[in-house]
């Protein structure tokens, strides 16, 4: 039997219900803040990610699903969506009015990562992008929306870990100082860090190897090398967080894993993950739109792994809002037309009703309803029709009631 590709999985049942619950919450919160959904293709030109994400990143060097199509073009399954959103904005001329854009997305991404528990090679992300505003206040507005979203899911004790990485031209003297620091302790760093210090020095700060983190004690801090303008931006960002009552702490190692970040970078920490682990991250990327062929445009955004978020919400046993799930069972061949008529009226009123159409005995229909997790069985036979009622069986308790056919729709709202 053919199996699913390693690292990719099917979604159904309870887990899928949590995905849908979070997606609905996302739409509600984003739209209340004036964000509009955007959907981009899952396949893009490889060049988009090489230029946008960065040719020295692990994503581009190690993790992308890249192939050549029949026209010998190099294509890639998108490993992240910010570059795709930027491409869509430029291609569709969405910046011509010079008005800010507020966009969000939900969709699958693909990375050939080392397999770990809860990590998949096709994974889902929710993200938001605020385009065309350079102010620290716009960053805080996006973060407030993010906190509103996470708290609506029942997550608590949230805080930020923040830093500023400035602009590329501001980092030159910092790179000199960091390289000298690492060279003095070269043997204490892993092989990847010894490579990164030449190709992408910021990534050394983000290394997850514990011995490298120990070796970084006392490292030069990038904030001390930034321009007055970038430092002022960061100070305003912190003051706005304080006035908005968003808890945060400064972290000089907070650089994120993508080359396009400028100035603000952040992660959201949650005690629900244990010892204040990072749940998601994002930051400002004021050069990316211009680098990909658009006009100079400031931007800020973030993304969260939906698979991980679902796992966390499920572990907290957060109850899903649910409607009664009803199986309508016609008893006897003569009742099927009446059952269709009743079902169509209930569907029109927005109720969740499955119609039994197999013509099997009542006992078998009730067994199926129990196995499939229905909450109620509505039984319609000749005797019920003659009395203008329906028999309602509460499958969780075994209780049974008779309802007037004319009152069914209104009574469903109260069970």
Q: How confident is the model at residue 288 (pLDDT cuts 50, 70, 90)?
A: very high
Element containing residue 1 per DSSP (H, E): none
pLDDT at 252 over 60: yes
Residue scoring higher pLDDT (68 or 57): 68
pLDDT at 275 over 70: no
User: Mean pLDDT of all residues in the chain?
Assistant: 92
Q: What is the per-residue pLDDT for 56?
A: 67
**Which residue blocks in 131-215 are alpha helix, DSSP H?**
136-152, 172-184, 191-199, 202-205, 210-215
Q: How confident is the model at residue 23 (pLDDT cuts 50, 70, 90)?
A: very high
Q: How confident is the model at residue 191 (pLDDT cuts 50, 70, 90)?
A: confident
Per the CB < 8 A criterion, the answer to whether 261 and 283 are in contact is yes
pTM (2 d.p.): 0.88
Q: What is the per-residue pLDDT for 260?
A: 87
Q: What is the per-residue pLDDT for 273?
A: 73
* Sign of CA pseudo-dihedral 165, 168, 173, 175: positive
Which tens digits make up the pLDDT trace of 361-405?
A: 999 999 999 999 999 999 999 999 999 999 999 999 999 999 999
Q: How confident is the model at residue 271 (pLDDT cuts 50, 70, 90)?
A: confident
Per the CB < 8 A criterion, the answer to whether 335 and 381 are in contact is yes
Per the CB < 8 A criterion, the answer to whether 278 and 77 are in contact is no
Of 57, 133, 58, 81, nearest to 306 (Cα)?
81
Residue 39 in tokens: 């959907």
- Between strands 325-330 and 352-355, the pairing is parallel
Per the CB < 8 A criterion, the answer to whether 150 and 188 are in contact is no
What's the average model confidence in pLDDT over 235-252?
Answer: 95
Per the CB < 8 A criterion, the answer to whether 50 and 60 are in contact is yes
Q: Quote the percentage of the chain above a pLDDT of 90.
A: 73
Domains annotated for the chain, with CATH where assigned, are 13-167+247-315 (3.30.930.10), 168-226 (no CATH), 325-412 (3.40.50.800)
């Amino acid at each position: 039997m053919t199996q699913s590709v390693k690292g990719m999985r099917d979604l159904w049942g309870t887990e899928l219900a949590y995905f849908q619950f979070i997606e609905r919450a996302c739409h509600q919160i984003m739209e209340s803040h004036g964000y509009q959904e955007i959907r981009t293709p899952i396949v893009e030109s490889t060049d988009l990610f090489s230029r946008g994400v960065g040719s020295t990143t692990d994503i581009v060097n190690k993790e992308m699903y890249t192939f050549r199509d029949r026209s010998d073009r190099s294509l890639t399954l998108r490993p992240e969506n910010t570059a795709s959103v930027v491409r869509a904005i430029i291609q569709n001329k969405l910046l011509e009015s010079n008005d800010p854009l507020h966009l969000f997305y939900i969709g699958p991404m693909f990375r050939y990562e080392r397999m770990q528990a809860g990590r998949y090679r096709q994974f889902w992300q929710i993200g938001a992008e605020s385009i065309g505003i350079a102010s620290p206040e716009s960053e805080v507005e996006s973060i407030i929306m993010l906190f509103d979203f996470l708290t609506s899911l029942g997550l608590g004790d949230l805080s930020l870990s923040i830093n500023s990485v400035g602009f590329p031209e501001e980092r030159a003297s910092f790179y000199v100082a960091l390289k000298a620091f690492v060279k003095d302790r070269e043997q204490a760093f892993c092989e990847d860090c010894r490579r990164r210090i030449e190709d992408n020095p910021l990534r050394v700060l983000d290394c997850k190897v514990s011995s490298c983190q120990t070796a970084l004690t006392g490292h030069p801090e990038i904030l001390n090398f930034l321009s007055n303008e970038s430092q002022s931006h960061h100070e305003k960002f912190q003051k706005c967080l304080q006035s908005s009552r968003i808890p945060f702490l400064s972290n000089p190692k907070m650089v994120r894993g993508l080359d396009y970040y400028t100035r603000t970078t952040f992660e959201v920490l949650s005690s629900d993950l244990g010892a204040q682990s990072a749940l998601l991250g994002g930051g400002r990327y004021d050069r990316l739109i211009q680098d990909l062929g658009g006009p100079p445009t400031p931007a800020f955004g973030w993304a969260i792994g939906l698979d991980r978020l679902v796992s966390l919400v499920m572990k907290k046993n957060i109850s899903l809002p649910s409607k009664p799930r009803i199986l309508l069972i016609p008893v006897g061949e003569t009742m099927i037309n009446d059952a269709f008529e009743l079902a169509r009226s209930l569907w029109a009123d927005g109720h969740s009703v499955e119609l039994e159409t197999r013509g099997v005995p009542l006992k078998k229909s009730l067994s199926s309803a129990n196995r499939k997790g229905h909450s109620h069985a509505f039984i319609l036979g000749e005797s019920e029709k003659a009395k203008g009622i329906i028999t309602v069986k509460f499958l969780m308790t075994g209780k049974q009631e008779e309802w007037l056919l004319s009152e069914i729709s209104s009574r469903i709202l109260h069970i």
